[in-house]
Structure 1
Amino acid sequence: MDGRSKAPGKVIIVGAGITGCAIAWHLARLGHTDVTVLDRGTLGAPLGSTGHAPGLLGRNAASPVMAALADYTAEFLMRLPGAVFNKVGSVEVARKAETADLLERKAATARGYGFEAHVVGPGELAGLVPYMDVSGLKRGLYLPGDGTLDARAALRGLHEGARDAGVTFRENVAVRDVLVREGRVVGVVTDDGEIVGDKVVIAVGIWGAELLKRHGIALPLFPVQHPYFTTAPLAVLDGAPAPSRHPMVRDLENVFYLREHGDRLGFGWYSHAPAPAEVAALIEAEMAFPAHGFHEGLSHDLFPVLAGAPIERKLNGIFSMTPDGGPLLGPVPGEPHLWVAEAVWVTHSGGVGRAVAEALLGLEPTIDVGAFAPDRFAAMPEDVCRARSLSLYNDIYAWPAP
């Protein structure tokens, strides 16, 4: 490629969550504003996973591409107006010797990317997170460049930036199918009629497979349920002036994470049996919290403050899994005018937005996301795709062996 933009004509983005808005923002920044973003909800009250994202942003990853996407996202969000990204750092902890060795390897990987990383002892951990019980810990990994974010604030910033640059947003427009004429995708079919465009990007999160199924496309995308609790205000955080003051914490052995929300704590866990979600009838990316199935796997022994703490909200949120845990990005095989940007975590949203925008414009990629093509599981039977995707849920913090 010669590095010059090849205008894709009118781009229709279906889904105004953080991924769709990030693509629109970057298209506009790259000079292409013939873009229409459609959403069946309102931008002020997102219906998808963005609306309830816990907002943990860790840059380090076993995959250099995922690390690069997260790093760009963190730096990008820090430039958005408002308190979107709070760089308080992250801590990962180890009780067992093998986990402590893993933290050493993860620190080496992080430094290889150019990220600041410190392997610390229990005393330093107690100073970083004063309300954490460090008595049983051997070691911790402290990554100062990580932090927490407000996904809704990020969404507002992206929407306003793209809108002010000339992107069109249409709320309360439900897309029912892609529009095909003479064997080619030429737009979308909505409750309000047909909308014609040159490129269609599906960025509807957990509903992606359901939408494309109507067009005869099997997308390897599997929605799962995930618990997230938010406490009532706690005395230990009384008067907290910022969304987070202390690092977010990941307990790799209990597959548990925790962050601050001002004077509240939020926490989630992946130690329960994976719970698939049927999403066709869902209006929002959440379901009723079940009486059984989630609590049985919960262990938060590092945080005595949570014992008996009043829970203000119990969220059963839905997000998507794929067979390798990566996103699905790019044109659908055999459908060059139909693209997907699916299974994207908030952590990588900015980087994905830039990568997809560059690809739509025919530009050389700043970060090559070719490994995340949506057809990479084409030879894998659907039942195997599903089983592998669900099996990754409990191993969400897994790290490749050396």
Structure 2
Amino acid sequence: MVRSADAVVVGGGVIGVSTLYHLAARGARDVVLLERDTLGSGSTAAAAGGFRAQFSDEVNIRLALRCIDAYQRFQAEFDIDIGFRQTGYLFLLRAEEEPHFRTALRLQQSMGVPARIVPVDEALRHVPGTSPDGLSAATYCPIDGLATPHAVVQGYAAAARRLGARIVQHEAAREILVRDGRVVGVRSAQGEIATPLVVLASGVWSPELARTAGIDLPVTAERRFVHYVASDGGLPERTPLTIDFATGLYFHREGAGLIVGGPWATPEELAPVAVQRLPFLADLGVANTWSGLYEMSPDHNALVGRCDEPAGLLYATGFSGHGFQQAPGIGEYLADLALDREPELDLSALSLRRFTDQLSRPELHVV
């Protein structure tokens, strides 16, 4: 049982292990991560593994470019294959969706993102067999792509351990202990850990724990479902992660088959929407289905920052489906805040304070 630490990270998903690693890499000597189950067993386990620079919010675009670079270097730095592949993202659009995507595209291009608008016939060459019904255009970005969340979690965890960090699994945090306006520890089922610093990175479970410290995190859980089709349906190996934006349907190649995802819990619920866009799915069966939880914030942007009171409490939640792809940069930022270093990437616009200051900044491109 750990009795004390210089810092405790709560949550063993990709955000938590990234933060743990970056704390240790910046010289924090006694850092501990508590995970109620096993590493990566929560929302990270169900993540599709996509990453993209096609956002509407400038902060998300800057963060995306930093994180794509980090994932591109990941194997060389951590000696683990994360399945990094830049097959692109393809957004299929109706006419009413084009204006705000074109506005976002101009912002992306001004920041060096090689995204572009493409006509429907060109878009469908990327995804043969896809129906053009109702589509007016698409956007495509070749630097977007996919990686394997489990491998990223293991890479960060192993590197953190090599630097002396401790990871305690099957240990649920129950309460953040506060005295005189400061964090003084964490209580778990096994006892108390004295610490002046807690980083709360436990996804949809963060609000419950934050309330024990008097903090209200406006995060709600939304379930998303993933269906695995054991045939590729003729789609090429380098099929982009394709999103039918109006319906929320997305699909991509996964090994010899396909991943098809969205808010539909069963193959029967999925079928009408999926077959309308991918007619060949009518002849294919769903081999497996699983689900995970999106941690939704009111404006669909992450909640990341440091509390004024209690001092010593940091938080990272509300990623609204973007946690995996933003994990490298978020871990860096939290570690810098925790250690009173000047962050290289300014993410202060994502702090909880934006809601009390009426500076909400909606992200429009949420799947």
2:236 aligned with 1:261, yes or no? no
- Residue 125 of structure 2 corresponds to which residue in structure 1? 127
1:200 to 1:102, Cα distance in 2 relative to 1, 3 A: closer
* Aligned length, in residue pairs: 354
Match of 2:239 among 232, 246, 251: 246
CA RMSD between the two structures:
2.8
Q: Deviations over 1:155-192 (max 9, x none)?
A: 11111121112211111111111123455321101111
The answer on whether the counterparts of 2:46 and 2:291 sit within 8 Å (CA) in structure 1 is no
Match of 1:63 among 57, 71, 76: 57
- Which letter maps to 1:252? F
- Residue 383 of structure 1 corresponds to which residue in structure 2? none
Q: CA deviation at 1:60?
A: 2.2
Separation in structure 1 between the aligned mates of residue 128 and residue 300 of structure 2, nearest angstrom: 33
Q: CA deviation at 1:338?
A: 1.4
- Which letter maps to 1:256? L
Separation in structure 2 between the aligned mates of residue 371 and residue 103 of structure 1, nearest angstrom: 22
Separation in structure 1 between the aligned mates of residue 273 and residue 312 of structure 2, nearest angstrom: 45
Q: CA deviation at 1:310?
A: 1.0
Q: CA deviation at 1:342?
A: 1.2
Separation in structure 1 between the aligned mates of residue 240 and residue 151 of structure 2, nearest angstrom: 20
1:179 to 1:397, Cα distance in 2 relative to 1, 3 A: closer
- SS of residue paired to 1:259: strand
> Please, what TM-score do these two structures have when normalized by structure 1?
0.80
- Residue 31 of structure 1 corresponds to which residue in structure 2? 27
Separation in structure 2 between the aligned mates of residue 351 and residue 322 of structure 1, nearest angstrom: 19
1:377 to 1:101, Cα distance in 2 relative to 1, 3 A: closer
1:42 to 1:137, Cα distance in 2 relative to 1, 3 A: same
1:95 to 1:339, Cα distance in 2 relative to 1, 3 A: closer
- Which letter maps to 1:106? A
Q: CA deviation at 1:103?
A: 4.0
1:376 to 1:117, Cα distance in 2 relative to 1, 3 A: closer
1:77 to 1:231, Cα distance in 2 relative to 1, 3 A: same
Question: Kindly, what percent of the aligned residue pairs are identical?
Answer: 28
Match of 1:187 among 185, 188, 207: 185
2:327 aligned with 1:349, yes or no? yes
Separation in structure 2 between the aligned mates of residue 290 and residue 216 of structure 1, nearest angstrom: 39
The answer on whether the counterparts of 2:302 and 2:318 sit within 8 Å (CA) in structure 1 is yes
Q: CA deviation at 1:31?
A: 2.5
Match of 2:347 among 351, 357, 369: 369
Q: CA deviation at 1:326?
A: 1.4
Separation in structure 1 between the aligned mates of residue 218 and residue 163 of structure 2, nearest angstrom: 34
The answer on whether the counterparts of 2:178 and 2:310 sit within 8 Å (CA) in structure 1 is no
- Which letter maps to 1:176? R
Separation in structure 2 between the aligned mates of residue 136 and residue 338 of structure 1, nearest angstrom: 48
Within 5 Å, which residues of 2 pair with 1:177-256?
177-234=175-232, 236=234, 245-256=238-249
- Residue 69 of structure 2 corresponds to which residue in structure 1? 75
- Which letter maps to 1:358? D
Q: Deviations over 1:76-130 (max 9, x none)?
A: 112122034211111112343x434444333322211101123222332233222
The answer on whether the counterparts of 1:12 and 1:197 sit within 8 Å (CA) in structure 2 is yes
2:115 aligned with 1:117, yes or no? yes
The answer on whether the counterparts of 1:41 and 1:173 sit within 8 Å (CA) in structure 2 is yes
Q: Deviations over 1:218-273 (max 9, x none)?
A: 22111112222221234525xx8xxx621111112222221221122112235x7x
1:155 to 1:149, Cα distance in 2 relative to 1, 3 A: same
Match of 1:322 among 269, 285, 297: 297
- SS of residue paired to 1:377: helix
Name structure 2 gaps, 5 residues minimum: 76-80
2:328 aligned with 1:335, yes or no? no
Q: Deviations over 1:296-355 (max 9, x none)?
A: 984552212222421122223212111111111122341111111112321211111111
2:278 aligned with 1:303, yes or no? yes
- Residue 160 of structure 1 corresponds to which residue in structure 2? 158
2:16 aligned with 1:20, yes or no? yes
- Which letter maps to 2:137? R
Q: CA deviation at 1:21?
A: 0.8
Name structure 1 gaps, 5 residues minimum: 1-8, 273-288, 381-387
1:103 to 1:341, Cα distance in 2 relative to 1, 3 A: closer
